[in-house]
Amino acid sequence: MINKRELELLGNALVKLEDGTSGLPDFTPSFDTERAAEVLMDVAERMQDNYPYFHPQYAGQMLKPPHPVARMAYALSLWVNPNNHALDGGRASSAMEKECIVDLGRMFGWDRPLGHLAGGGTMANLEALWVAGRLHPGKKVIASAQAHYTHGRITEVLGIPFAGVPVDTHGRMDVAAVERMLGEGEIGTVVVTMGNTGLGAVDPLEDILALRDRYEFRIHADAAYGGYFGLAHELGSDQRRHYDRLGDVDSIVIDPHKHGLQPYGCGCILFRDPSVGTLYKHDSPYTYFSSGEMHLGEITLECSRPGASAVALWATHRLLPPTPGGDFAQGLDACLRAARTLWRDLHNSSKFTPLMQPELDIVVYAVNAASTSAASERARDVFQKAADRELHLALIELPSDLFSGYAPEVAVDSDTVTCLRSTLMKPEHEEWLERLTALLEASAG
């Protein structure tokens, strides 16, 4: 879990950081070190009550460990504790954030997007939909029925009408349903999910873009989970055609604290058209005085924001540039291969039925049973028995009609069915699959 070398590297970097204030009179903040040591031991003991998120045998929720360089850079910055709301609070970290925005924008073909880091995908999506509501007042926002629930919640907070769109058997947004809704003339924004959090399904962006030629609406891409996969060489051809069109949308959300190897919370909102920054205009006569240059506080809804997030992301980009073919992209390829291999292996199992073929790195599968209610009960049982063996999975509840397309022989006696879900977002999962599969089979009895 902990590589002691990290502590050595961090200590050396702190010495270098201290050189930046060598011209000041000596001052060392004091604290009760003995009592602090006791408290830290209490913290360490309390923190043992967690799942082993860092380990390959954790294949449940979307919890990817930060890269060591991100963790060290984040910790290093806390000795400054920069606030990226304004240049007064974090000159260096604000510059780093702007450079990170350029890096992320280039992933989608945008050289100079307007954007900033946020506390996570929820806040980033809030800003995207707030802008959409300002540009299309009174118009409805629609998103896939398998999109993240945050869109329905955000629109309620913003007072924007919202509707869900049915999905196909793969969990993707139904394009025909979208066109029917557009025909009513009340839609201002279509949210296209590039890798939904339940199934990993990629909405058909290219087909939605074609509709924009006939109807007037904004397209917001919620790529919080799947945004980085555009860098992967082994992305499927059907998904590739949609990812290659991401540069044509109006706004994009991506979460570096998911596949970007960052600590929580680190989301990002990007706008293709920088002029939407005028919507953020405000007047604060006391906060900004050290620079006449536009600062990040002028293009965010959040005020105080941790500069540490920008420092950690900047360091990660320097070590592992987010470019096709690099080490970072190869890690994504390993995740894709792991998911496809597990899905194929489950087809050879007498105990499980895999559902839709994974489009990213999420695999959903049912435990074999005679009925949907029995399958749900067995899934919960396997979930617990796997945890007892230190194999940590996740559960997902799906509509029975979606499930039945993959297991038509199972009697439907419930509206929903509980299935198992494995998120293989660590590159190491590819090497550990044989062991994970053996534990899974043993857990099914």
Q: By the 8 A CB rule, do 261 and 316 touch?
A: yes
Q: Using CB atoms within 10 A of its CB, is residue 47 exposed (0-12), middle (13-18) or buried (19+)?
A: exposed
Backbone angles phi, psi at 410, to 5 degrees: -85, 125
Confidence (pLDDT) at 290: 42
CA-based torsion, 134, 202, 176, 211: positive or negative? positive
Same CATH fold assignment for domains 87-319 and 327-443: no
Identify the bridge partners of residue 116 per DSSP, sorted by sequence position: 269
**pTM of the full predicted structure?**
0.95
Q: In terms of residues, how long is the chain?
A: 445
Given CA atoms 424, 429, 430, 435 in this order, what sign does their dihedral have?
A: negative
> Minimal CA–CA distance to 63: which of 429, 365, 410?
429
What residues contact residue 204 under an 8 Å CB cut-off, 6+ apart? 172, 173, 175, 242
Question: Is residue 408 packed enough to be buried (19+ CB in 10 Å), middle (13-18) or exposed (0-12)?
Answer: exposed
Listed in sequence order, the residues at least 6 apart from 193 whose beta carbon sits closer than 8 Å to its beta carbon are 143, 144, 146, 147, 148, 173, 201, 202, 203, 221, 222, 223, 226
Spans of all domains in the chain = 87-319, 327-443
The tokens describing 32, both together, are 């009760």
Do the Cβ atoms of 192 and 249 come closer than 8 Å? yes
Pick one of 3.30.365.10, 3.30.9.10, 3.40.640.10, 3.90.1150.10 as the CATH number of 327-443. 3.90.1150.10
Place of tokens 């999910």: 193
Q: What is the mean pLDDT of each run of 10 residues along the chain (445 residues)?
A: 92 95 91 96 97 97 96 97 88 95 97 94 96 96 96 97 96 97 96 96 98 95 98 97 98 98 97 90 51 65 92 98 97 98 97 97 98 98 98 97 95 98 98 98 96
Identify the pLDDT of residue 296.
76
Q: CA-to-CA distance for 137 and 286, rounded, in angstroms? A: 32
Asked if the 87-319 domain carries CATH number 2.70.70.10, the reply is no
Return the HEC string of the chain: CCCHHHHHHHHHHHHHHHHHHCCCCCCCCCCCHHHHHHHHHHHHHHCCCCCCCCCCCECCCCCCCCCHHHHHHHHHHCCCCCECCCHHHCHHHHHHHHHHHHHHHHHCCCCCCEEEEECCHHHHHHHHHHHHHHHCCCCEEEEECCCCCHHHHHHHHHCCCEEEECECCCCCECHHHHHHHHCCCCEEEEEEEECCCCCCCECCHHHHHHHHCCCCCEEEEECCCCHHHHHCCCCCHHHHHHHCCHHHCCEEEECCCCCCCCCCCCEEEEECCHHHHHHHCCCCCCCCCCCCCCCHHHHCCCCCCEHHHHHHHHHHHHHCCCCCCCHHHHHHHHHHHHHHHHHHHHHCCCCEEECCCCCCCEEEEEECCCEHHHHHHHHHHHHHHHHHCCCECEEEEEEHHHHHCCCCCCECCCCEEEEEEEECCCCCHHHHHHHHHHHHHHHCC
Residue entry with tokens 């058909």: 204
Those residues with Cβ within 8 angstroms of residue 313's Cβ, 6 or more apart along the chain or in another chain: 70, 96, 97, 100, 117, 256, 260, 262, 266
